[in-house]
């Protein structure tokens, strides 16, 4: 059995880690480098940083923060937000990141997934998807930080991303984001039926059992969360021991 991963997510705006609920009510949390080092020391498997307004504001990524994080953590980390070109991938990887997450720009220019995978390897390319359930019970892809509904089917888009060369899918459920009622198991199960690449569950973690459900019921390969870690509600090593007790393989 492959080891499951616990991934703290750090949303960054104006050089600070912030957190909201359903993409609204944004509050300040901490310095990104200090928080990243803390999570690295506490046993996180990976980290994800999102520049949450870069796409909407159509500006470049925060390379200075990437370089500082690379100097202070010894676990893999992913950078997303404002990624538009293969050259953006190159800059971020050269600055010290291990993976690059692409969201909005992949929808408008899917070839960037293939081009980046060919140049840097699929393992560096994470397709991040913000999805929201519609009246028909399926899921729509949203872009520009959750501001714009594309009406693209999220599960089909994840499958297409895999075909284009993405090495991993990070699926964020906008319906459960920040609510702490659990990950979107229905969405994770739908992905599990069509994908062979790893899936990161995102949006909704509130208890240790929620993580177990994502792994055992949703068959996710990794679980990503923010506020439960930012506010010390769930200690990472305590979570990993809890999951291991449920026969979920963890790196301790």
The residues that are catalytic are 11, 130
3-state secondary structure of 79: strand
Terminal C-alpha separation, the chain: 15
**Residue 99, strand partner residues:** 78
Spatial distance between the Cα atoms of 100 and 212, rounded to a whole number of angstroms: 26
For 224, residues 6+ apart whose C-beta sits below 8 A from its C-beta are 7, 8, 9, 48, 170, 172, 200, 201, 202, 205
Q: Which residue, among 100, 101, 94, 43, has the nearest Cα to 73 in the 3D structure?
A: 43
């Amino acid at each position: 059995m492959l080891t499951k991963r616990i991934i703290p997510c750090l949303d960054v705006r104006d050089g600070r880690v912030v957190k909201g609920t359903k993409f609204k009510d944004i509050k300040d949390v901490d310095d990104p480098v200090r928080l990243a080092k803390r999570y690295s020391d506490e046993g996180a498997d990976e980290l994800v940083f999102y520049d949450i307004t870069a796409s909407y504001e159509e500006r470049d990524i925060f390379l200075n923060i990437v370089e500082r994080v690379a100097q202070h953590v010894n676990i893999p980390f992913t950078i997303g937000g404002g990624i538009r070109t293969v050259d953006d991938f190159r800059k971020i990887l050269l600055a010290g990141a291990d993976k690059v997450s692409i969201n909005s720009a992949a929808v408008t220019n899917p070839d960037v997934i293939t081009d980046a995978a060919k140049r840097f390897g699929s393992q560096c390319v994470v397709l991040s998807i913000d999805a929201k359930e519609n009246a028909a019970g399926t899921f729509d892809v949203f872009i520009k930080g959750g501001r714009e509904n594309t009406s693209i089917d999220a599960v089909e888009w994840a499958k297409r991303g895999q075909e284009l060369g993405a090495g991993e899918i990070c699926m964020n459920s906008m319906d459960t984001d920040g609510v702490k009622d659990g990950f979107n198991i229905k969405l994770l199960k739908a992905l599990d039926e069509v994908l062979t690449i790893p899936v990161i569950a995102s949006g909704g973690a509130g208890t240790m059992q929620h993580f177990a459900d994502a792994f055992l019921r949703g068959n996710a390969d990794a679980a990503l969360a923010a506020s439960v870690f930012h506010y010390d509600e769930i200690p990472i090593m305590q979570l990993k021991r809890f999951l291991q007790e449920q026969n979920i393989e963890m790196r301790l």
